[in-house]
């Protein structure tokens, strides 16, 4: 079954682009949306039955594995890609452009699905590149100066990351020359454990991780992220901020830290410090932004820091918190970017100094934005509260009191800058030129309502979800 | 002795070729230097007992890619001598540190005596042919390459093709 997650998007891409007139291309958006719904439904209904092996695996022997972290990631991919497609319906003009967008989304989706399922460092790098190339084009999709500049910056930094990652892989291959597949997670972990880790293997994995941090826009390599997000068009920024940088960044890091690097207090200390730095740098950066998408980008950097704090705890509870926050953050950050898309669609700008009082004109956008804001800040009973609570409890249990205090304090800072954004955009006095503003197009509103529903539902139904769906996630983390 | 001299010579040529590719003020020269750099890399790969990788490097990176670059450059307008001079100065101003870094790294590396000999040949593939590696050992990577090529094709369609509003 598992190869279908990679093969179906690619097959659909080829089918909708067959040179048989415009008929199939007209359906590409709808078919891609159906695929995302099917993926989400398959994961929710049949997750325990999806497994490696079976008839298809013998026919196409792709080395893929599914665990609970993969399930969470695949579900987040399906939801955010679906939301992005709905936003594209309302904001991308012309059938050809919409079809091109859907095709690029299919490539990115195939790449991200593969990232969630594979267990080999070389394949991990290769699919980073697949998602990366699709992302360059998505950022540059608008073809104006800002978009091309954002894409160019991403390409250059991605090139540097590629050199580091390939260099690291080459060193790891030298270390594991005796193995037939020296770069599988298990073999690299074995190489790192030989007499406390060979220096060359450590250097290799270190270089690979540096490349991964650049590609995922993680602190201290986050400089390109705000520019790329704000330069991309609305649906592309939903996709990039919501899931692409999660799949290529923090998910990759979680996978490498939990499956490749042997858990040691030293590694955990580095991850914790990086997480706390991201929380602080992102939140402080967000305080000084006057453009919505840039503000959300900095907020994203800060929230990814929380995921790292959970990961750095080095225990099942921390891993559970990190995984849950990865999912929640993908959803509520996508929602904030959908709200920015709604404002941009109707007003033509996301510059907060030119906005105000839109709440009465755009009630759906206003309410869903408030839900996303409160969830990001960790206000109960929304989903963000539970994941942050678990992370703080895990930090406290691990005697990382200082980091726990930072996590709580900067949640308040998050609440502050996001409520300020809410006030500037949706409340206060409305500029005269915005008097005729109306609610965003139905597809954008539907996208926002679905994401807000998930954020609210995940919060309210948390006790139920915890036992049935979330607790098994801890099983992927080696118990200490 | 002769072998060591050859290694140093090829590595130096590779570094100089890459440096000139980045620093030259004419696009055409940059494309040609890129081809030369790839040709030197091909020689290094042959020496490291990786003939298939070398063949790919020679045909694709030293042949096809520069040919595409040169055809694209053929469609552009030539800069006047004044413009070229200004660009040359700009390049020097922007990238003066690259040769400095290169010399510093070379000097640093020459001082380190590696305990492990990193200049190793590729392992014997024990009967594994390219076909078996591609199709049997790493089919997922093959799929990844297909996806990357499709993404590149869409990049050309989306970014370079004029679209009409329909």
Beta carbons of A267 and A261 less than 8 angstroms apart: yes
User: What pLDDT score does A31 carry?
Assistant: 93
In angstroms, the CA A443 to CA A91 distance is: 9
Q: Is A10 on the interface with B (CB under 8 A)?
A: yes
| ∠ Cα A68 A72 A73 (to 5°) | 115
**How much is the CA Rg of chain B, to the nearest whole Å?**
20
Listed range (A59-63, A86-90, A150-154, A406-410) with the worst mean pLDDT:
A59-63
Q: Do B140 and A120 touch (CB under 8 A)?
A: yes
Q: Mean pLDDT across the stretch B30-59?
A: 89
User: What pLDDT score does A227 carry?
Assistant: 83
- Residues B125-157: pLDDT tens digits? 555 677 777 777 788 888 898 898 888 888 888
Chain B interface with A: residues with Cβ < 8 Å: 116, 118, 120, 123, 136-141, 143-148, 150-152, 154-155, 157-159, 163-166
Q: Do A130 and B137 touch (CB under 8 A)?
A: no
Identify all chain A residues contacting B148, using CB atoms and an 8 Å cutoff.
Answer: 126, 129-130, 133
- Residue in chain B closest to A11 (alpha carbons) equals B147
**How far B6 CA sits from the closest chain A CA (Å)?**
22
**Percent of chain A predicted with pLDDT > 70:** 92
In angstroms, the CA B62 to CA B56 distance is: 9
**How far B17 CA sits from the closest chain A CA (Å)?**
17
- Residues A163-188: pLDDT tens digits? 999 999 988 887 766 666 778 888 88
- Residues A283-324: pLDDT tens digits? 999 999 999 999 999 999 999 999 999 999 888 888 889 989
Q: How far is CA A265 from CA A37, A269, A369, A445, in A?
A: 41, 6, 39, 46
Beta carbons of A130 and B151 less than 8 angstroms apart: yes
Identify all chain B residues contacting A62, using CB atoms and an 8 Å cutoff.
Answer: 139-140, 143
Q: Do B141 and A126 touch (CB under 8 A)?
A: yes
In angstroms, the CA A442 to CA A449 distance is: 10
Mean pLDDT computed over every residue of chain B: 81
Q: Which of A158, A159, A162 is nearest to A240 (CA)?
A: A158
Q: Which of A450, A239, A421, A454 is nearest to A343 (CA)?
A: A421
Beta carbons of A410 and A403 less than 8 angstroms apart: no
Best of A19, A88, A127, A202 to disrupt the B interface (most B CBs within 10 Å) is: A127
**Secondary structure of residue A291 in the 3-state scheme:** strand
- Residues A338-387: pLDDT tens digits? 999 999 999 988 899 888 889 888 999 999 999 999 999 999 889 999 99
Identify all chain A residues contacting B141, using CB atoms and an 8 Å cutoff.
Answer: 122-123, 126
**Secondary structure of residue A430 in the 3-state scheme:** coil
In angstroms, the CA B48 to CA B67 distance is: 27
Which string of b and e fits A242-280 if b means at least 16 CB within 10 Å? bbbbbbbbbbbbbbbbbbbbeeeeeebeebbebbbbbbb
How is residue A456 written in tokens? 């609210």
* Closest residue to A6, CB basis, from B143, B163, B164: B143
Identify all chain A residues contacting B147, using CB atoms and an 8 Å cutoff.
Answer: 10, 107, 110-111, 127, 130
Q: Is A154 on the interface with B (CB under 8 A)?
A: no
Query: Is pLDDT above 60 for B114?
Result: no
User: What pLDDT score does A53 carry?
Assistant: 63
Identify all chain A residues contacting B165, using CB atoms and an 8 Å cutoff.
Answer: 93-94
The whole model's pTM is what? 0.88
Q: Do B163 and A141 touch (CB under 8 A)?
A: no
Is residue A478 very low, low, confident or very high in pLDDT (cuts 50, 70, 90)? very low
Name the H helices within A378-433. Answer: 383-397, 401-426
* Closest residue to B151, CB basis, from A96, A107, A114: A107
- Residue in chain A closest to B118 (alpha carbons) equals A174
In angstroms, the CA B62 to CA B39 distance is: 6
Within 10 Å of residue A209's Cβ, how many Cβ atoms?
21
- Residue in chain B closest to A62 (alpha carbons) equals B140
Query: Is pLDDT above 70 for A221?
Result: yes
Mean pLDDT computed over every residue of chain A: 87
In angstroms, the CA B119 to CA A130 distance is: 31
Q: Is A103 on the interface with B (CB under 8 A)?
A: yes
Q: Mean pLDDT across the stretch B3-26?
A: 86
- Residues A116-164: pLDDT tens digits? 999 889 999 999 999 999 998 998 888 888 888 888 888 888 999 999 9
- Residue in chain A closest to B136 (alpha carbons) equals A61
Q: Which of A73, A344, A126 is nearest to A232 (CA)?
A: A344
- Residue in chain A closest to B157 (alpha carbons) equals A100
**How far B86 CA sits from the closest chain A CA (Å)?**
23
* Closest residue to B147, CB basis, from A62, A107, A180: A107
Most confident of A189-198, A363-372, B4-13, B94-103: A363-372
Give the rounded distance of the alpha carbon of A198 from its chain centre. Answer: 33
Residues 6 or more apart whose CB falls under 8 angstroms from that of A254 comprise: A69, A307, A311, A322, A323, A326
Identify all chain B residues contacting A142, using CB atoms and an 8 Å cutoff.
Answer: none
Within 10 Å of residue A46's Cβ, how many Cβ atoms?
10
DSSP code of A473? G
DSSP notation for A304-370: HHHHHHHHHT-SHHHHHHHHHHHHHHHHHHHHHHHHHHHHHHHHS--BGGG---TTTT-HHHHHHHH
């Amino acid at each position: 079954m598992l190869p279908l997650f990679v093969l179906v998007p690619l097959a659909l891409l080829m089918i909708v682009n067959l040179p048989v007139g415009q008929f199939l291309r007209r359906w590409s958006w709808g078919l891609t949306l159906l695929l995302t719904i099917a993926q989400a439904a398959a994961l929710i209904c049949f997750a325990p039955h999806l497994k490696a092996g079976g008839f298809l695996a013998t026919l196409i022997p792709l080395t893929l594995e599914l665990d609970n972290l993969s399930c969470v990631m695949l579900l987040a991919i399906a939801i955010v890609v679906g939301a992005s497609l709905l936003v594209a319906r309302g904001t991308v003009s012309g059938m050809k452009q919409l079809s091109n967008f859907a095709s690029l989304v299919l490539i990115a989706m195939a790449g991200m699905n593969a990232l969630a399922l594979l267990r080999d460092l070389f394949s991990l790098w290769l699919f980073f590149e697949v998602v990366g190339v699709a992302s360059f084009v998505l950022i540059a999709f608008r073809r104006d100066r800002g978009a091309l500049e954002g894409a160019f910056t991403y390409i250059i930094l991605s090139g540097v990351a590629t050199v580091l990652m390939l260099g690291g892989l080459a060193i790891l291959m030298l270390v594991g020359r005796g193995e037939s597949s020296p770069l599988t997670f298990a073999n690299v972990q074995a190489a790192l454990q030989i007499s406390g880790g060979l220096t060359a293997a450590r250097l290799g994995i270190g270089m690979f991780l540096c490349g991964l941090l650049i590609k995922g826009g993680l602190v201290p390599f986050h400089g390109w992220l705000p520019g790329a997000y704000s330069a991309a068009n609305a649906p592309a920024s939903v996709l990039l901020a919501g899931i692409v940088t999660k799949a290529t960044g923090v998910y990759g890091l979680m996978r490498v830290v939990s499956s490749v690097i042997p858990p040691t207090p030293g590694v955990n200390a580095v991850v914790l410090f990086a997480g706390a730095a991201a929380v602080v740098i992102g939140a402080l950066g967000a305080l000084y932004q006057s453009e919505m998408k840039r503000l959300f980008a900095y907020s994203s950097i800060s929230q990814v820091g929380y995921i790292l704090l959970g990961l750095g705890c080095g225990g099942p509870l921390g891993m559970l918190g990190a995984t849950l926050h990865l999912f929640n953050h993908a959803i509520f950050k996508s929602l904030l970017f959908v709200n920015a898309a709604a404002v941009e669609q109707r007003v033509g700008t996301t510059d907060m100094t030119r906005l105000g009082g839109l709440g009465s004109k755009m009630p759906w956008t206003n309410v869903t934005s408030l839900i996303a804001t409160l969830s990001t800040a960790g206000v109960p009973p929304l989903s963000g509260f539970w994941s942050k609570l678990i992370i703080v409890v895990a930090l406290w249990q691990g005697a990382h009191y200082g980091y726990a205090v930072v996590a709580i304090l900067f949640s308040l800072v998050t609440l502050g800058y996001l409520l300020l954004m809410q006030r500037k955009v949706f409340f206060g006095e409305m500029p005269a030129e915005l008097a005729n503003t109306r609610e965003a197009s139905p597809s954008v509103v539907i996208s926002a309502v679905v994401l807000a529903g998930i954020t609210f539902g995940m919060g309210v139904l948390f006790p139920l979800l915890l036992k049935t769906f979330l607790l098994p996630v801890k099983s992927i983390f080696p118990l200490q | 002795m002769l072998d060591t001299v050859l290694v140093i010579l090829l590595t130096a040529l590779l570094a100089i070729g890459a440096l000139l590719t980045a620093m030259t003020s004419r696009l055409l020269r940059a494309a040609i230097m890129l081809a030369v750099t790839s040709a030197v890399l091909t020689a290094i790969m042959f020496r490291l007992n990786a003939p298939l990788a070398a063949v790919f490097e020679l045909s694709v990176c030293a042949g096809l890619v520069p040919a595409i670059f040169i055809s694209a450059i053929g469609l552009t307008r030539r800069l006047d001598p004044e413009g070229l001079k200004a660009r040359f100065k700009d390049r020097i101003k922007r990238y003066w540190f690259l040769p400095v870094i290169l010399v510093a790294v070379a000097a640093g590396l020459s001082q380190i005596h590696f305990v492990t000999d990193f200049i190793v040949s590729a392992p014997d593939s024990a009967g594994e042919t390219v076909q078996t590696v591609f199709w049997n050992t790493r089919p997922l990577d093959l799929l990844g390459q297909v996806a990357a090529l499709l993404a590149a094709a869409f990049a050309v369609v989306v970014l370079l093709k004029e679209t009409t509003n329909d």
